[in-house]
Amino acid sequence: MKEFSARQKEIIRAAIELIAESGIQSVTIKKLSQKIGIAESAIYRHFENKLEILLGILSQFRSSKMEALEYIQAADATEIEQLQMVFSERFKQFTRNPAITAVIFSEEIFQNDKRLADEVYAIMNSSLKMILSIIQRGQQNKSIRSDISADQLSLIIIGALRLLVVRWRLSSFSFDLTKEGEKLWLSIRQMIRA
């Protein structure tokens, strides 16, 4: 896992904010340096080039997500409880850092570079695998319905979660994500229980 200095983290945070404010096209070295309050050239003391900054965004998100997911997997909880934890943890993460939502469910913004695109794809799949394995265990001990495959259930669950977050963002965070997320979870639980 990559370690970032304080300044590096600051640059990454500024980049995320720029994306959230006005899209990937507004992430320029000039705007980054202005946002932080240093000279453009100073950015290059901390990152080799712009690509490394963008990779930094993804790397940081990946590790904070992994942390949350490992904590959940380690918890002594039923599968349904674990799924609920995935929901509430993700929503908590997004509420704490709303700008990241502009980045993480918008795979297309990183499509201009293969390394970026691959990393985004990997992040997406890691979530999917985690949810999938919880559901499979739940189906084995009959706490989750088995008439629909685990693949399909995880697609449906993650799809709903993503769409709720996207709508939250496109509405300029105009509703309470935690509350709506809780409502969504109750609906999903109702639909997947055995």
Partner DNA sequence: GTTATGTGAGTGAATATTCACAAACAAATA
Partner DNA sequence: TATTTGTTTGTGAATATTCACTCACATAAC
Instruction: Give me the residues that bind DNA (CB under 7 A), please.
Output: 5, 7, 27-31, 33, 37-46, 49-51
Contact between 19 and its own copies per CB under 8 A: yes
Among 42, 124, 143, 178, binds its own copies (CB under 8 A): 124
Q: How far apart are the C-alpha atoms of 7 and 68, rounded to whole Å?
A: 24
Among 64, 78, 88, 106, binds its own copies (CB under 8 A): 106
| Sign of the torsion angle spanned by Cα atoms 178, 62, 122, 83 | negative
Report helix, strand or coil for 144.
Answer: strand
Q: Are 67 and 25 in contact (CB under 8 A)?
A: no
Give whichever of 140 and 149 is closer to its own copies, judged by the CB atom: 149
CB of 175 to its own copies, least distance (A): 12
CB of 107 to its own copies, least distance (A): 6
Among 49, 140, 141, 152, binds its own copies (CB under 8 A): 152
Percentage helix, strand, coil for the chain under 3-state DSSP, each rounded to 5:
75, 0, 20
Which entry of DNA, its own copies, none binds 66, CB below 5 to 8 A by partner kind? none
Q: How far apart are the C-alpha atoms of 120 and 139, rounded to whole Å?
A: 29
